[in-house]
Structure 1
Amino acid sequence: MPATLRCIAIDDEPIALDVINAHAGKVPFLYLRRTFVNAIEALAYLKTEPVELIFLDINMPDLTGLDFAQVVGNKSLVIFTTAYPEYALQGFELSALDYLLKPVAFGRFLQAANKAFERLAGSDKKSPYVFVKDGYDWVRINLDELLYVESEGNYLTFQEIGKKTLTRMTIGEAVDMLPADEFMRIHKSYIVALNRIEKIERHQLTIGKVQVPLSGSYRDELLERVK
């Protein structure tokens, strides 16, 4: 798999670029080489400095993101970042890798970045891990060992077999980051690994030796997914 992905970000709003720059700085495998407020300048840059990934706004003067993506073609993966959901269909028709709505939450950004990482690895398999921040460090969470995620105020605990990691993140961001076919939110404060569930009761389920609360609003969906 590639060690790092070279990328650029293009947006006519400097504040939006600041957000992308901050998010990219938290992802170990992203190398954000440049940011541009002018799409034409970005095209000139790409002629001599190719990159694997482009974070691209759509509604820009002179050259829209949709036009930019057509010019670039398949030379780089494109993740659109925009405040306008009505452009989503056009974006995917141009084979965009993903489509992020502003304001871009970090969890959703990380999910798109992981998708790019997997695509450039030349594999259809999902990444076997994600990274989360623990203090000043980045900690690898192995998905095949992850039992559940528990929300504690503004923090989450990722409970793996024999290890737990505390990180500042919302449970909604964790839902976006984790593979939806392997993990499910079953309570306002819990996400569980479906293949680790040993017993489902009316108001709780068992994972290993731990009982995790199960909300009634999630119970029917859970039973359908484990059948």
Structure 2
Amino acid sequence: MLTQLRCIAIDDEPIALDVVRAHADKVPFLDLRRTFVNAIEALAFLKTETIDLIFLDINMPDLTGLDFAQVVGNRSLVIFTTAYPEYALQGFELSALDYLLKPIAFGRFFQAANKAYERLAGPDKNGTPARSPYVFVKDGYDWVRISLAELQYVESEGNYLTFQETGKKTLTRMTIGEAMEMLPAEQFMRVHKSYIVALDRIEKIERHQLTIGKVQVPLSGSYRDELLERVK
């Protein structure tokens, strides 16, 4: 199973590279091997090293990111990073995996990184696309890693959600619909207007509630039949 993506980042602005490095350090499946302010030096590095993913600035002197991507071809996935949205179309014409507009927010960076992980890991033996074993949610000014293996349920509380892991809970400002889009559908299911549960954590199903550990989670009638089908 793929555990980490070997990455490099190329940008003629050191501060921009610091942002990519800081974001990459938070993502367990990214291994940022090197950063470069000179695209020519990066090309020389790629002649001797195998790299899965390149975070690549577009507007650089001597050799632009667009030119660099053409030289690299399909040897590595490319995620463009730039302050100029007008380059997006050209980037996607070069089959770039994604396009990040500076200043790059961590949440958007993680989405792009996870897309790369899914692309390179490929489907499992059942044909299910591979996913990162983590998601990140924002808690105040910080981004907190949520382990999908440890996540028991998600509870809606007004404009906030609580992600309940084994022995840990994280409160974040998010809608339950956004959480459903983030979590893998094969592992998690909405069972109530205010709850999403991990299917493999359900210990007991009653008419109007579920038991997960020591917690009773309400079960809406509109979800009950689907739930029973999925746990058979």
Q: Contact conserved, 1:10 with 1:57, CA < 8 A, in 2?
A: yes
Aligned to 2:91: 91
TM-score by length of 2: 0.68
The letter for the 1-side match of 2:218 is K
Identity %: 59
SS in 1 for 2:181: coil
Aligned to 1:105: 105
SS in 1 for 2:26: coil
Matches within 5 A, 1:10-159: 10-123=10-123, 125=129, 127=131, 129-132=133-136, 138-142=145-149, 146-148=153-155, 158-159=162-163
SS in 1 for 2:62: coil
How many Å separate the matches in 2 of 1:195 and 1:136? Answer: 24
How many Å separate the matches in 1 of 2:58 and 2:93? Answer: 14
5+ long unaligned stretches in structure 2: 196-216, 221-232
SS in 1 for 2:63: coil
Structure 1 stretch 115-124 or stretch 102-111: which is displaced more? 115-124
TM-score by length of 1: 0.69
Aligned to 2:190: 196
SS in 2 for 1:79: strand
Which 4+ runs in 1 deviate beyond 4 A? 133-139, 142-146, 148-152, 160-164, 169-172
Shift of 1:24: 0.5
Q: Contact conserved, 2:23 with 2:109, CA < 8 A, in 1?
A: yes
Measured at CA, do residues 109 and 148 of structure 1 come closer, stay the same or move farther in structure 2, by a change above 3 Å? farther
Measured at CA, do residues 150 and 99 of structure 1 come closer, stay the same or move farther in structure 2, by a change above 3 Å? farther
Aligned to 1:219: none
5+ long unaligned stretches in structure 1: 184-192, 199-204, 212-227
The letter for the 2-side match of 1:209 is P
Asked which structure has the greater RCO (Cα within 8 Å, sep 6+), the reply is 1
How many residues are treated as equivalent by the alignment? 189
How many Å separate the matches in 2 of 1:138 and 1:78? Answer: 24
The letter for the 1-side match of 2:181 is A
Shift of 1:180: 3.1
Any idea what the Cα deviations from partners look like across 1:161-217, whole Å, max 9, x if unmatched?
A: 7665327x7649x95xx673869xxxxxxxxx994143xxxxxx3434399xxxxxx
How many Å separate the matches in 2 of 1:71 and 1:179? Answer: 39
